[in-house]
A and B are shown apart, each in its own frame.
Chain A
Amino acid sequence: MISLQNIERIFQVGDEEVHALRDVSMTATDGDHIAIMGPSGSGKSSLLNILGLLDRPDTGSYELDGVKVSELDEKEQARIRRHKIGFVFQFFHLVPRLTAFDNIALPLMLAGMKQDERQARVTAALAAFGLGNRAQHRPDQLSGGQRQRVAIARATIMQPSVILADEPTGNLDRNSGIEVVEILEELNRQGITLIMVTHDPELGRRAQRQILMVDGRIEREAEG
């Protein structure tokens, strides 16, 4: 359960103030599939960063599963990111020197799980995302679609309740993009809340709710 109330985010650029988010309020219930759309610079990424606890709003409050997370300290926010939130980025953000296996295992490793326990879970995840024979390949030896699948596998390995995806298909060709979106939708069907920023109206229409942002405001919301 996500609830944003009157969120403002202002960036100071030189003498000028840039209002990235103006009075944004929204809620999402568990299992929602939301697409955030809007022109470039409208504040989509800014909103997603706040939802993902990567950034703090200047005003307003954010409740996640009944906890006022906007008031937590950095350590507790990190714990919540670790356990409840999975990120998928436009530029994949894989660690270039680690293999696909190690990239997926990263969150488990950071959480302190033992190596033999990790083994089984990561192997299962690799298989589930069709990467069974790519375990020992490094990112530069993978195609874009494969890279994004590794990133999604990594985002879901901790079994988060929310997946935040910022233009996950922005760097992929059409087929690979559809493939990735289908994977994300499948995860959503299993109960994970999926919030995805996209420029592609066709992909947006597949979401159950569409939020349109313009100039830092939620311009309107459409269902279906």
Chain B
Amino acid sequence: MQIQDFFRYTFNGIRAQRLRSFLTTLGIAVGIGAVVLLTSLGEGLHRFVLAEFTQFGTNLIAINPGKVTTHGVSGALLSNVRPLTIEDTAILKQLPQILDVVSVVQGNGAIKAGGRQRRATIYGVDASAARVWKFAVAAGRFLPDDPPRSARSFVVLGSKVRQELFGSNQALGMRIRIGGELFRVIGSMESKGQMLGFDLDDAVYIPAAKAMALFNRESLMEIDLLHTAGSSSSVVAEKVRKALQARHGKEDFTITTQEKMLEILGGVLNTLTIAVGALGGISLLVGGVGILTIMSITVNERTGEIGLLRAMGVEQSQILTLFLGEAVLLAAIGGLAGLGLGVGGSWLFSLAVPALPAHISWTYVASAELLAAFVGLLAGVLPARRAARLHPVEALRAE
């Protein structure tokens, strides 16, 4: 049998029962559509989160005090007997392949300017923070490169704090009060938006040493460092580990490379996408049962035709392929329609929620279509085998 005849014949069988075929393919289409839509949403979320995490750049390494990993609370917030210090930062700066290092102290407090007051996050950082975290300054400049221990009392305002405290008035050069101490505004940041719930605009940036004095603590909460693009994160992390261990005598800190974090995060998000896709797959399973049912009915109804074909010398294996082909074709058409549904749905979703654009992953789409055909094949096996095994005489008598 010629291949185009094969298709024509099976297609003819599908077309002869339009409504029935339409409903069968619709079942598969809904299933595949659900899988495609859900994996697209998962993939969109994946990209969204990764973009959030990489907005500070990808060559970042964070060092936190303590070897705390199991308590669910960041080591930085807990008290610690062996703190990270500003001196550690200075040592790390000397290492090769490291471009910039930032000391970080983070807290919360009231900020007063004139008659206004706002509670906001207070970041104690270095001049290098703007470079490491890829901040853009809207007006003025970022903190100057003062010696860390004797930094001057300057403050840079996040866009929201600037707006809340000064409105449309001039902020640069003004004096504001943070936790009782006076700071002079030397710059304000462009809006950076939220990062995973942390509002980076509702914050002010002051020198790390000043923040430590303000919060009455001796240690840093984190040291962030930026390494050269060409060097491997793990190699740099190892060097950092050695250098700090030499100073502290012990490994009493935790190093997190962005690379590692992205890897773990990526893994988690992939699992999520697959899990959600699998939930959609339940519908596909039901759709598969639908094909099985309809193909059984079809074989029943066409018993006479099968007998005729056998009488005309068609082999059992050919009958099998004919009906299998019809099942696969049904499923594949359903799959294509499902792709349309899924892609359209993702598109609509992107329109409705622009912040979280669904992303159609063509690997998932291709596998979904293959999956549909496979479901058809699987569902077709039983009825097609029954068709092939019909005794020709019995089949002819059925009419």
* Mask: chain B, 303-322; 1 = CB below 8 Å from A; 0 = not: 01101111111111110000
**Which residues of B316-349 have CB atoms within 8 Å of chain A's CB atoms?**
316-318
* Mask: chain B, 1-35; 1 = CB below 8 Å from A; 0 = not: 11011000100110110000000000000000000
Residue in contact with A114 in the complex, picked from B2, B15, B399, CB distance below 8 Å:
B2
Asked whether, in the complex, the Cβ of A54 is within 8 Å of the Cβ of B311, the reply is yes
Smallest CB separation, A100 vs chain B (Å):
14
Asked whether, in the complex, the Cβ of A95 is within 8 Å of the Cβ of B2, the reply is no
Asked whether, in the complex, the Cβ of A78 is within 8 Å of the Cβ of B396, the reply is no
A111 to B313, CA, bound (A): 9
Smallest CB separation, B188 vs chain A (Å):
76
CB neighbours (8 Å) of A107 from chain B are: 312-313
- In the complex, whether B109 has a CB less than 8 A from a CB of chain A is no
Asked whether, in the complex, the Cβ of B318 is within 8 Å of the Cβ of A110, the reply is yes
Taking CB as reference atom, which chain B residue is nearest A82? B313
A81 to B312, CA, bound (A): 6
Q: Interface size of B by Cβ–Cβ distance < 8 Å?
A: 28
CB neighbours (8 Å) of A52 from chain B are: 311
* Mask: chain B, 74-87; 1 = CB below 8 Å from A; 0 = not: 00000000000000
Looking at chain A, what size class is its interface with the partner chain? 20 to 34
CB neighbours (8 Å) of B399 from chain A are: 91, 93
A78 to B304, CA, bound (A): 17
Smallest CB separation, B9 vs chain A (Å):
7
A98 to B309, CA, bound (A): 13
Residue in contact with B2 in the complex, picked from A80, A96, A115, CB distance below 8 Å:
A115
**Which residues of A61-113 have CB atoms within 8 Å of chain B's CB atoms?**
74-75, 78-83, 85, 87, 89, 91, 93, 95-98, 106-107, 109-113
The A-B contact count (CB < 8 A) is 77
Q: Decide: A54 near B9, CB < 8 A? Known: A89-B396, A97-B16.
A: no
The 7 closest A-B pairs by CB, nearest first: A82-B313, A97-B16, A81-B313, A54-B392, A78-B315, A93-B308, A87-B311
- In the complex, whether B393 has a CB less than 8 A from a CB of chain A is yes
26 A-B pairs (CB sep. < 8 Å):
A49-B393, A52-B311, A54-B392, A54-B393, A54-B396, A55-B391, A55-B393, A74-B315, A75-B315, A78-B310, A78-B314, A79-B313, A81-B310, A81-B313, A83-B313, A87-B311, A89-B396, A91-B399, A93-B304, A95-B305, A98-B12, A106-B309, A106-B312, A109-B9, A112-B1, A115-B2
Asked whether, in the complex, the Cβ of A97 is within 8 Å of the Cβ of B12, the reply is yes
A109 to B2, CA, bound (A): 7
Asked whether, in the complex, the Cβ of A109 is within 8 Å of the Cβ of B16, the reply is no
A114 to B1, CA, bound (A): 9
* Mask: chain A, 153-197; 1 = CB below 8 Å from B; 0 = not: 010000000000000000000000000000000000000000000
Q: Of B2, B313, B316, which is in contact with the most chain A CB atoms at under 10 Å from its CB?
A: B313
Smallest CB separation, B398 vs chain A (Å):
10
**Which residues of B385-399 have CB atoms within 8 Å of chain A's CB atoms?**
391-393, 396, 399
A114 to B309, CA, bound (A): 19
A115 to B3, CA, bound (A): 11
A217 to B152, CA, bound (A): 121
A186 to B168, CA, bound (A): 106
Smallest CB separation, B287 vs chain A (Å):
25
Residue in contact with B13 in the complex, picked from A87, A97, A113, A154, CB distance below 8 Å:
A97
Smallest CB separation, A130 vs chain B (Å):
23
A80 to B12, CA, bound (A): 27
A110 to B313, CA, bound (A): 9
A78 to B316, CA, bound (A): 9
Asked whether, in the complex, the Cβ of B308 is within 8 Å of the Cβ of A78, the reply is no
CB neighbours (8 Å) of B391 from chain A are: 55
Smallest CB separation, A49 vs chain B (Å):
5
Q: Of B4, B9, B315, which is in contact with the most chain A CB atoms at under 10 Å from its CB?
A: B315
Known A54-B396, A93-B308, A95-B305; further 6 A-B contacts with Cβ < 8 A: A78-B314, A89-B396, A97-B12, A110-B312, A110-B313, A154-B312
Q: Decide: A81 near B12, CB < 8 A? Known: A54-B392, A110-B1.
A: no
Q: Of B5, B305, B309, B399, which is in contact with the most chain A CB atoms at under 10 Å from its CB?
A: B5
A83 to B313, CA, bound (A): 8
Smallest CB separation, B149 vs chain A (Å):
90
